[in-house]
Structure 1
């Protein structure tokens, strides 16, 4: 079934009956995204939240000099958007790009608002999703402020082993706030310790 992955994701937090499933899935728009294609560009009004049905995406901020800082990754079974701009329907601050061929299911902000009215338990679902995202980002900020780079890298490896297989090292470095060269050194040191 076309919606198995997203329904399994929803079912982690709420249960839906057949009519609710039918209404929810009627609001989703499937989009195939080629590697390196953008589903959101900075400056574009952010109208959708996307569920990754397959593939992998990266949300990043580009400063005035063109330097990119990875804010988050989103792989199969994850939700992604520029949350501030989505909630406030403002121009995006982030870019969201496919880092491999991907398929996303998109839900418009206007349709999400309808969903909250028609099936109020979706407010609970998205509250949990947003709480978890907030907690993850808060912990990340604290770790970036308090832990040395090698510990941040080791934490990233243990928390997100599936992401490591799908993204470039320079993207991981930008997520960790270090240079690709420094990440290469950390990886070399890790391999050396395993061998010795």
Structure 2
């Protein structure tokens, strides 16, 4: 697999020259992870920001009782990392684990500044995608406060139809902040309402 899907994605935000593309092809690399492997673990410093070419990951926090709290899922054409740890090079608050065999394009922390210098528009690209991620995160917080669990599930299903079929129900429940039993109850209600 090549980094071509990433080039297409970046070109939706900024224009890359042939020279820029050649530099990215030289500096970036593709890494394959097996289902169950971690891209980063809580407490480690995140060295990579990853663009998903193929596969699915979950980003989650493990509390002191060993309970998993899922923040997000990433599939093809999405980004996956602990962005706070990557930017600050401090210990990660989150784990990023592959739910399927996953292939990513890796932006290594030690070359990102070099890429910004040689392709100045790349800095604008990353600013734009981080802004989008920030807005999405804020909207999710508001939904968590203002929507019922049923409404949150319907929103999840509508917004991310390609994810629901790929992950276990207990993970969707964790993402929604409810038990898997409550999710089952919601799904039963929805079937009855049809």
Could you state the TM-score of these two structures normalised by the residue count of structure 1? 0.96
Q: CA deviation at 1:4?
A: 1.7
Q: Deviations over 1:33-60 (max 9, x none)?
A: 1111111111111111001010101000
Distance 1:12 1:186 in 2: 38
Which 4+ runs in 1 deviate beyond 4 A? none
How far off is 1:63 after superposition? 0.5
Residue of structure 1 in register with 2:100 after alignment: 100
Confirm whether residue 52 of structure 1 aligns to residue 52 of structure 2. Answer: yes
Matched, 1:167 2:167: yes
Q: In 1, distance between residues paired with 2:27 and 2:185?
A: 47
Task: Tell me how large the CA RMSD over aligned residues is.
Answer: 1.0
> Would you say 1:10 and 2:10 are equivalent positions?
yes
* Contact 2:38-2:95 within 8 A present in 1 as well: yes
Name stretches of at least 5 consecutive residues in structure 1 with no aligned partner: none
SS in 2 for 1:43: coil
Partner residue of 1:76?
Answer: 76
State the distance in 2 between where 1:80 and 1:120 align.
23
Cα offsets for 1:170-191 (capped at 9, x unmatched): 1111111111111111111111
Q: Which runs of 5+ in 2 are unaligned?
A: none
* Matching of residues 28-39 of structure 1 within 5 Å: 28-39=28-39
1:64 paired to 2:64? yes
Distance 2:28 2:180 in 1: 37
Q: Is 1:153–2:153 an aligned residue pair?
A: yes
The CA distance in 1 between the partners of 2:61 and 2:24, in whole Å, is 31
Name the counterpart of 1:182. Answer: 182
Quote the offset at 1:8 in angstroms. 1.2
> SS state of the match for residue 132, structure 2?
helix
CA distance in 1, matches of 2:9, 2:171: 26
Given that residues 58 and 74 in structure 2 are in contact (C-alpha distance below 8 angstroms), is that contact kept between their aligned partners in structure 1?
A: yes
So what's the TM-score if we normalise by structure 2?
A: 0.97
Q: CA deviation at 1:91?
A: 1.2
Q: Deviations over 1:85-131 (max 9, x none)?
A: 11100111111011011101111122111111111100111011101
Matched residues in 2 for 1:98 and 1:113: separation? 27
Alignment partners' CA distance in 1, 2:52 and 2:182: 30
Residue pair 2:39, 2:81 contacting (<8 A) in 1 also: no
Aligned length: 194
Equivalent position of 1:41 in the other structure:
41
